[in-house]
Amino acid sequence: MKKIFIIALLVASTIGFSQAYELGKVTVDELKQKVCPTDTSAVASYLFNIAKTHFNYSGDEGFEIITEIDIKIKIYKKEGYEYANHSEDLYIGNRGTERIDISKAATYNLVGDKIVKSKLGNDGEFVEKVNQYWNRKKITMPNVKEGSIIEYRITLRSPYFSNFPDWEFQKDIPVGYSEYSTNIPEYFTYNTYFKGYFAPDSSKEIKNRQINYSYTLSPSEVLQRGLNTGKVNSSIDFSETITKFFISNVPPLKNEVFVNNINNYRCTVVHELAGTKFPNANYESYSTNWESVVKTIYQDPNFGGELNKTGYFEKDIDAIINSISSLEERAGLIFNYVKSRINWNETFGVYCPDGVKKAYQEKKGSAAEINLMLTAMLRYAGIDANPILVSTRSNGISIFPSRSAYNYVISGIELENQVLLLDATNRYSLPNILPIRDLNWFGRIIRKNESSAQIDLMPKTNSNDVINLMATIDSQGEVSGKIREQYFDYNAFLFRNNNNGLSKESAIDKLEKKYAGIEIGEYEVQNATDLSKQIIENYDFKTNNAVEIIGDKMYFSPFLFLAMTENPFKQEVREYPVDFVFPNQDKFNISLKIPDGYTVETLPKSISVAMPDNLGSFKYNISNNGSQVQLVSTVDINQAIIKSEDYEALKNFFKEIVNKQTEKIVLKKG
């Protein structure tokens, strides 16, 4: 009896709790609120964000997924005005286009003691075409001010029951209350996954449901049944599982430096279709593990079917490789041929929108078309090549088995002890030097027999950046000299991506802004397009800002304007891994000629610092030989990703670097 009473109380309190979160119930006290109670620095906050995903059935169209979202946002500062805008992407596919309705949309303001409501008009709604697969609906709420409250309801309708929406409990601003309910009929099985550092509460129950619907008979069926109309009414009875997830007072997701994709750590619930079992039909399995995921993708005609096409390129490839017997040379020639012939249209995805043949003919295609084409050509040349599914950095880490986990394809050549990674969408990429978007932990290679294996995408060797600086300091403290900077591997890739195509004047301007206070004279870049060699950047410089003169003494850092002056890691605690993208080494060879009449009074001490487990090291060796100061210093980051558990050691490591690079040499006159 006591147990029943407690359950009754919980149900009653839950009903009362839900009723408190209704659109249109804006109060004067809410509008008068000046700051967010849980975060006084917040520019805006979600007072509540509540959604329900359920299924509807039409006899002619079948099931569709409907998601209704009620949103109520408080604007505190002008910087929060952006939260008065909203956009949704809508998929366009063979079964139709996803649809969206916006209702109950209004902005509330307090004028004196009166609440003034401004409804969203037609001029605040926009639809734009993103590409052939996506439309985007946008709204901009009217009359937004500091103190406004924004409300609206979104209703999303999708015929694609694999497109179950992800629900974010955590936003970039505080969330007072977030709730997500799902009503899933017995015919569908979804795997549920959670991301982030917060766990919402949940409840679950199973209920019976009946849907009344009508469907249209064909003319022959109408005659056969002797009916007067083609419309037939019917109903279906089924059970559905009702799950509710809810959480209160969710802090904003704070971005931190060196994070690959902050959404990897956002509190989110994800539903992935595992299978369907409709009446009088067998169970159809979808993605329940990685093997079934890749098998489903490989068997799709827009993936495996396109990969197996060869007739469109054979003559051209024969002309390139016929006289070449070395498989390594053949691979290099084919890779460079695809990079130079086919331009990437910046379309992601694992399937081919227009097909490899059309992409080859028009010399433009998606990532899937380009890299599946590359794989097919390599196989044709006798090379053991296979496609690799990748989740790009913007798409997030592929943690859970899901067909939507991957949004990109590259190619891999399987050698005895390694897989050589290739991506022909970028003209500056090289074997194992991929575009940065690809460097996202792990991919999955799919072989001809439909087996698959996890592939580590992260670089293992350090990409070097070597700076040679020779300079002279005159008696007025002006420094003039030359810099020769060499960029290797990923550093060279980034330099070419960011600087090729710039005029010399633009390149000089860019450097002068990077190193405030320097003036650059002669400037040149070597090997800008020769990918087999490192980039070499040479320039003359002078500066009056590097040396401080006080009395008969000069003070300056031997790094001059190259010194790291601020620790990038300022937080007391780090929640997320630190992502340096690739291991790297910065090496400095510095030679400074001191002015006549001056001697070195104080010289920094040489040191060597290392992080635990060889995660990083810092070496600083300095010497003085009469009028010359010589410095050789290296900073090594030996892993692309540093775990959050090692954050304290990393923070202290960079503190040592900053302290040493800003430490002064003292010269004394006489």
The Cα 123–Cα 128 span in angstroms is 14
The Cα 581–Cα 484 span in angstroms is 25
pLDDT given for residue 256 in this prediction: 86
Share of the chain above pLDDT 90, in %: 83
pLDDT given for residue 8 in this prediction: 34
What number of other Cβ atoms are within 10 A of residue 8's Cβ? 10
pLDDT given for residue 13 in this prediction: 36
The three-class DSSP label of residue 329 is helix
CATH 2.60.40.3140 positions along the chain are 2-285
Architecture of the CATH domain 2-285? Sandwich (2.60)
Architecture of the CATH domain 290-456? Roll (3.10)
CATH 3.10.620.30 positions along the chain are 290-456
The Cα 71–Cα 654 span in angstroms is 43
- For 233-287, how does the pLDDT look when each residue is reduced to its tens digit (9 = 90+)? 888 899 999 999 999 999 999 888 899 999 999 999 999 998 999 888 899 888 6
9 pLDDT higher than 70: no
- For 576-596, how does the pLDDT look when each residue is reduced to its tens digit (9 = 90+)? 999 999 999 999 999 999 999
pLDDT given for residue 625 in this prediction: 92
Mean pLDDT of the region 590-614: 97
pLDDT given for residue 222 in this prediction: 64
Given a contact cutoff of 8 angstroms between Cβ atoms, the answer to whether 31 and 146 are in contact is no
The Cα 478–Cα 72 span in angstroms is 59
DSSP assignments along 470-512, one per residue: EEEE-TTS-EEEEEEEEE-HHHHHHHHHHHTT--HHHHHHHHH
484 pLDDT higher than 70: yes
**Whole-structure pTM value:** 0.87
Strands, sheet with 96-97, edge to edge from the N-terminal-most edge strand: 96-97, 85-93, 134-140, 125-131
pLDDT given for residue 14 in this prediction: 36
Measured CA to CA in angstroms, residue 567 lies from 22, 70, 312, 563, 653 at distances of 46, 42, 55, 11, 9
- For 188-234, how does the pLDDT look when each residue is reduced to its tens digit (9 = 90+)? 999 999 999 899 999 999 999 998 877 777 777 767 776 667 677 88
On the 0-12 / 13-18 / 19+ scale of CB atoms within 10 A, 658 is middle
The Cα 386–Cα 379 span in angstroms is 8
- For 33-73, how does the pLDDT look when each residue is reduced to its tens digit (9 = 90+)? 999 999 999 999 999 999 999 999 887 778 899 999 999 99
pLDDT band at 1 (very low <50, low <70, confident <90, very high): very low
pLDDT given for residue 16 in this prediction: 35
- For 149-196, how does the pLDDT look when each residue is reduced to its tens digit (9 = 90+)? 999 999 999 999 888 999 999 999 999 999 999 999 999 999 999 999
C-alpha R_g of the chain: 31
CATH 2.60.120.1130 positions along the chain are 463-669
Given a contact cutoff of 8 angstroms between Cβ atoms, the answer to whether 91 and 134 are in contact is yes
Tell which wins on pLDDT, 595 or 401: 595
CATH number of the 463-669 domain: 2.60.120.1130
Mean pLDDT of the chain: 93
